[in-house]
Amino acid sequence: MNKPRETLVHARAVFKSYDRGKITVLRDVSLDVKRGEIVALWGSSGSGKSTLLHLLGGLDVQDSGHISICGLDPRTETNRLDLRRHHLGFVFQLHNLIPDLTVEENLRVPALAAGRSAAATRERLLELTDRVGIGHRLNHRIQDLSGGERQRTAICRALMPTPRLILADEPTGSLDEQTGSIIFDLLKTLAERDGIGVVIATHERRFAESCHRIARMRDGRLDEVPQ
Ligand SMILES: Nc1ncnc2c1ncn2[C@@H]1O[C@H](COP(=O)(O)OP(=O)(O)O)[C@@H](O)[C@H]1O
Ligand SMILES: [Mg+2]
């Protein structure tokens, strides 16, 4: 008998509003994501995708409802630190790398926070950059890279702590069509080959349809789209 796959995201009846309740962005949102799954958070601009990812990643706090990430409640500061250092990787639309630093220096930042040795860090960053095809760019500064290379670096940075879950917020949004596909395929491989859970916010139907499941955000609600 197969072992049930570990649930990485467990969100139930989550509500979130801004401006002291004047704008309700999430209404009774529930979501489960397991190991090895890539799930699309699909919806138009302003539908609440980033808001939900921020709650899952502990960057913001829900008004009510329950969220558990890798078994931890991200509202607690110690859990948040633990998640960010060891279990969770974030990839943003605009990569959030430090432009003046090299690829290698950017990748060393999360390893430093996780307290990893210099040798183990070097080994991991060589393995990851080689895998995504930027191994020859280690000593180049971020500002000298193409958009696709920057986003690959951002994915490597998210992967440095060997996370179980990746939250990707429109990671293909600033890229051309072909480069966007390369980045999407990379995230899908991480789910299928490495068993990582991936939640990808996107407004692009072609990417949503290539995910294992589609959760559609509309009018503050999240509905699973049957595939
Ligand atoms: N900090 C904030 N304060 C007030 N309103 C916000 C804030 N963040 C997001 N919103 C509003 O919440 C809605 C959802 O935004 P967002 O989650 O960024 O959507 P998406 O990522 O799907 O484009 C939008 O109407 C946006 O204006
Ligand atoms: Mg967004």
Report pLDDT digits (tens) over 51-88. Answer: 999 999 999 999 999 999 999 999 999 999 999 989 99
Examine residue 132 and state whether it is found in any structural domain, yes or no: no
In this prediction, residues 112-118 reach a mean pLDDT of 82
Percent over 70 (pLDDT), the chain: 99
Query: Given this model, what pLDDT does residue 175 score?
Result: 85
Question: Quick one: 208 exposed, middle or buried, by C-beta within 10 A (0-12, 13-18, 19+)?
Answer: buried
Examine residue 176 and state whether it is found in any structural domain, yes or no: yes
Q: Can you give the CATH number for the domain in which 78 is found?
A: 3.40.50.300
Give the total number of structural domains in the chain: 1
> How many angstroms does the Cα of residue 77 sit away from the middle of ligand 2?
24
Question: Quick one: 105 exposed, middle or buried, by C-beta within 10 A (0-12, 13-18, 19+)?
Answer: middle
**Ligand 1 within 6 A of CB of 21:** no
**Ligand 1 within 6 A of CB of 62:** no
Examine residue 53 and state whether it is found in any structural domain, yes or no: yes
Examine residue 111 and state whether it is found in any structural domain, yes or no: no
Strands 165-169, 197-202: pairing kind? parallel
Examine residue 131 and state whether it is found in any structural domain, yes or no: no
pTM, two decimals, is 0.93
In the chain, DSSP assigns E strands to 7-18, 23-34, 38-42, 64-69, 88-91, 165-169, 197-202, 213-218, 221-225
Identify which of 15, 22, 23 to mutate to test ligand 1's pocket (most ligand atoms within 8 A of the CB): 23
Query: Given this model, what pLDDT does residue 42 score?
Result: 97
Domain span at residue 170 reads 7-96+146-218
Query: Given this model, what pLDDT does residue 2 score?
Result: 63
Report pLDDT digits (tens) over 153-190. Answer: 999 999 998 899 999 999 998 888 998 999 999 999 99
Examine residue 140 and state whether it is found in any structural domain, yes or no: no
Mean pLDDT (the chain, rounded): 93
Examine residue 182 and state whether it is found in any structural domain, yes or no: yes
Examine residue 43 and state whether it is found in any structural domain, yes or no: yes
Query: Given this model, what pLDDT does residue 129 score?
Result: 94
> How many angstroms does the Cα of residue 111 sit away from the middle of ligand 2?
27
In this prediction, residues 127-149 reach a mean pLDDT of 94
